[in-house]
Amino acid sequence: MTDLQTFQPVLLEAVGVEQGHSLESYRSRGGYAPLEKLLAEKQPPEVVEMVKSSGLRGRGGAGFMTGLKWTFLPKDHPGPIYLCVNADESEPGTFNNRILMEDDPHQILEGTIISAYATRASTAYIYLRYEYPQSWKSLQAAIDEAYAAGYLGQNIKGSGFSLDIYLHRGAAAYICGEETGLIESLEGKRAWPRIKPPFPAIEGAFRKPTVVNNIETMACVAQIARRGVDWFRSIGVPADPNNPRDPGSYGPKLYCLSGHVEKPGCYEAPLGITARELIDGFGGGVWKGLRAKAVIPGGISMGLLSEAELDTPLDFAGPGKAGCLGLGTAAVVVIDETVSIVDFLHNSCRFFAHESCGQCTPCREGTSWSLRMLERIRAGKGRLKDLELLAEIGNTMGMMPGSTICGLADGAAWPIKNAIAKFRDEFEEYIKQSNPTGYMETDPVPALPILSAH
């Protein structure tokens, strides 16, 4: 594990640099030279091998091995092959993609060009969420600069490799970040995630082989090309020798720290930093001298860590061991002791009920049912039975139990089941206090007429 004291941020090295987002500045920091070298010296399979051996795992949420994903593309495909860069960043609490796009867009472009070269894609789409106008401006300016400088377009730097990058602005929906929802949206359709198989690597955008990777993943590829595989593997948490299925958590990671901390922000740290180290070391501790009640480990979808679980390492394997869904987007949100977990869960349910694409029955109805129950509980008409129903929804909705097409439902389920499992007492107390005459009711009760959602 890297020493936190000596760790130097690389992904964020442009932050705070005057005109750091410009091509000139990026080049002065060593940017694009690795690309030129690589185009001149390496064949695409060698680049795939480089990324594979670095152990890089996708930063978009699922933590899938990036190099391995690239090898799923059909061999000797006549093309076109597409690369989609996922900049839909809509997981609540997450803003690291935005910082990269605004402050160091060329790092992303370099990573994208390298990844396209490795995957033999001659077209890349950056799918950007609508609500990021500044990212849109800075990315588009960077793309224009890169074209002018010969890093994009035909025959890049005489290598024979050609690439066009299109910046596509979405219309604002969480589900557009799910990779096949993104592809559907890119094709001009409603972003309903596709059933898999076929996976995008076989049949993706416009029915052609497609790779989808996150913005931060692209930045990591650029850094691996610049600093080497050994550098990358020297950071983070090595694979567990006792678990052959653990590929380890290598490299630097951008943690988005927000909520009730003194110094919220996007911090670069080695994978494996614990939640407590992050909050105390980077964030200046929980605000106002309060204690944390719970912490979201990686975006709201990942569930909750209780205060007692804050020493959980935030690598790809850590949060799972504490019953959370995973590391997700590494968006750490601190919830202080004054916050009602009932309110937290209500907020979470409202988000997912609003964002469920509505395709799968269990997700469409489960997210809205859970919201309706939380609405009623907060209106002082909760029943203990609701907790059982909520737990049942939490345990049965999602790709993991097999009841849905995409992972949004798992993300909706995890906060529910973590909150009820880890804070059941608080829920029971709340319900008994707020509904002293009806909390034991088990028969169906009238639904409240108004929803706070939509």
Ligand X SMILES: Cc1cc2nc3c(=O)[nH]c(=O)nc-3n(C[C@H](O)[C@H](O)[C@H](O)COP(=O)(O)O)c2cc1C
Contacts to ligand X by CB under 6 A:
58-62, 64, 66, 86, 88-91, 174-175, 177-179, 212-214, 217, 406-408, 411
The values of phi and psi at residue 123, to 5°, are -135, 135
In angstroms, the CA 59 to CA 214 distance is 6
**359 binds ligand SF4 per the rule CB under 6 A:** yes
**Residue 169 contact, options ligand SF4, another protein, ligand X, none, Cβ 5-8 Å cut-off depending on partner type:** none
Which residues are CB-contacts of 272 (< 8 A; sequence separation ≥ 6)?
1, 236, 237, 249, 313, 314, 315, 318
For the window 363-382, what string marks contact with ligand SF4 as x by the rule CB under 6 A?
Answer: xx------------------
Strands (E), 95-151: 123-128
Q: How far is the CB of 431 from another protein (least distance, A)?
A: 15
Strand 252-259, strand 210-214: pairing: unpaired
- From another protein, ligand X, ligand SF4, none, interface partner of 86 (C-beta below 5 to 8 A by class): ligand X
C-alpha–C-alpha distance, residues 23 and 26, integer Å:
5
Residue 96 or residue 359: which is nearer to ligand SF4 going by CB?
359
CB 256 within 8 A of CB 268: no
Instruction: Determine the Cα–Cα distance for residues 10 and 25; give it in Å rounded to an integer.
Output: 14
Q: Does 90 bind ligand SF4 (CB under 6 A)?
A: no
Q: Which of 94, 356, 368, 435 binds ligand SF4 (CB under 6 A)?
A: 356
Binding partner of 400, given ligand SF4, ligand X, another protein, none, CB within 5-8 angstroms per partner class: another protein
CB nearer to another protein: pick between 162 and 361: 361
- Residue 409 binds which entry of ligand X, another protein, ligand SF4, none, with Cβ cut-offs from 5 to 8 Å by kind? ligand SF4
- Which of 184, 216 has the CB closer to ligand SF4? 184
Q: How far is the CB of 257 from another protein (least distance, A)?
A: 30
Site for ligand SF4 contains 193 (CB under 6 A): yes
Q: Is 183 in the site for ligand SF4 (CB under 6 A)?
A: no
Shortest distance (Å) from residue 304 CB to ligand X: 18
The Cα–Cα gap between 119 and 85 comes to 13
Nearer to another protein, 112 or 404 (CB): 404
Short-list 160, 108, 114, 111, CA closest to 136: 108
CA separation for the pair 216, 213 (Å, rounded): 8
Establish if 275 lies at the interface with ligand SF4 (CB under 6 A).
no
- 210-214: strand order across its sheet: 164-169, 123-128, 82-87, 210-214
Distance CA(191)–CA(186), nearest Å, equals 8
Q: How far is the CB of 275 from ligand SF4 (least distance, A)?
A: 28
Tokens 């990779």 belong to 179
- Each residue 386-405 as x (binds ligand SF4 by CB under 6 A) or -, in order, gives ------------------xx
User: Cβ contacts of residue 214 below 8 Å, gap of 6+?
Assistant: 58, 59, 60, 61, 85, 86, 97
Cβ proximity to another protein: between 78 and 402 the closer is: 402
Which of 332/357 has CB closer to ligand SF4? Answer: 357
User: In the complex, what is the shortest distance from the CB of residue 445 to ligand X, in angstroms, rounded to a whole number?
Assistant: 31
Quick count: other Cβ atoms within 10 Å of Cβ 169? 17
| Residue 95 or 423 having the CB closest to ligand X | 95
Long-range contacts of 156-164 (CB under 8 A, 24+ apart): 156/39, 156/113, 157/35, 157/36, 157/39, 157/40, 159/39, 159/40, 161/39, 161/117, 162/122, 163/113, 163/116, 163/117, 163/121, 163/122, 163/123, 163/124, 164/122, 164/123, 164/124
Binding residues for another protein (CB under 8 A): 173, 190, 195, 353-362, 364-369, 372-373, 376, 389, 396, 399-405, 444-449, 454
By CB under 6 A, name the binding residues for ligand SF4: 175, 193, 356-360, 363-364, 404-406, 408-409
